[in-house]
Structure 1
Amino acid sequence: MTVTRRVFVSGAMAAPFLAQLGGATPAAASSPLDTTFSLLDGSCEIRLTELARTRLAAEGIKVQPVAPSTAVLGADGKTVEGVTMPPEYATGTISPLGQPGQGAGRMLGGVVLRDSKARMEITGIRGSVPDGRIFAFLKVDDEWLGEQPVYASDPSAMRLSVEPGAPGKPTTLKGSGIPLTPTQQGVDAFADAFGVALFTVADKVFTASVTGRAWPVPTLPV
């Protein structure tokens, strides 16, 4: 990487979690000096933390991907510990100092949590800046519960490496170690589905990593 700095591309690239790119103090609005990026392609991996894996395993709750997401396997090559999701769309701004401005995006596919009694499907994960919440559509067994804010991420927790492309080529963006915690709505939905409250809003349940290629959008004169 030629440059490493704090940047934002949008919620869809990290779902959950790209909604929250940025520095210690997220910008509430874009300035005329901000650069707007539009995502060309990429992926977002969300992996269960050790805490989440241990608690889910103790209850016999397993993880499965929802197409077009693909499974992220553990060290044994069999256990699903997360999913990799492609983006549906993503746009966002980056300040000259690498801080987030305004942006939004959504991921395709999602994840299923299931045991012998219940099945919870979490799909259509989206986020926006400067909002810290990450929304998704929930389905428990055969009942759709609608779109709810199920996760949250700290805007100051993400760093992306930025590699400008050659002339005519897109910019490459990468980031890792983005912590995701459940919202109270997410905690309650899980407890209602499985009959047990395994997590609190302070627990880190997923860690997200993102990579993608994005085009800088030219600024038109006013």
Structure 2
Amino acid sequence: MKKTALLAIAIATILTASVGFAAPQTDYSAGKTSVDLTWRNADNYVEDNLGSTGYGIKGNWDWGITTGLGNNFAFQYAGFNAKSADKVYSAGDVENFELKTQEFNVLYKLDNNISAYAGLVKIKGISNSNYYGNASDSKNELQFGLVGSTKIADKTTAYAQVGIASDFTNWKVGLSQEIAPNLELNLDYRRTQGKNLNLYGYNVDATAKGLGLGITYKF
């Protein structure tokens, strides 16, 4: 938790200094909307009291929609399904792991570059094994975060986001390039972690991280 707090403070400091990053959508006028779709090569691994298990990289989708409500408020829904590649053990067991998240956030614009948000995050870990069977655990938590952006060229924006809950951390940094009116190409790196998920009687911390390439459409 100390590392997470330090990360949040560091990113917040960068954002406040206006040399770092901020949100792709900064117009929270009523009805203003952006839709994000990203293909991400996610590297999944879990940690428990026996150590760490890596499952390998597999491409997955994550997505989101943000709609302005007016008066500097906006609503955001975001989803991420990070399913690993199959891991084959010497005994013939084949296993994969999936970390799913859904976020329902209310954002408030602090200035033209920085927004704060609070909302509900739904976290689910799923382990599928042809030997042990399937196991899953889920939890709902209240999260808080910061998101911001800054122009680094006429059509290029740098951005970052960090969200924290008691058993959840999520951060992302990236670049957005306008390629047509209302259409942007995004390249980012994301790390998402759900903690204390109970699978097969063990508490595990599940992590998905990797590069993503996506598009944002604004209207």
Q: When the two structures are superposed, what TM-score results if normalisation uses the length of structure 2?
A: 0.48
Structure in which a larger fraction of residues adopt helix: 1
Structure in which a larger fraction of residues adopt strand: 2
Q: Which has the higher contact order (CA 8 A, sep 6+)?
A: 1
Q: When the two structures are superposed, what TM-score results if normalisation uses the length of structure 1?
A: 0.48
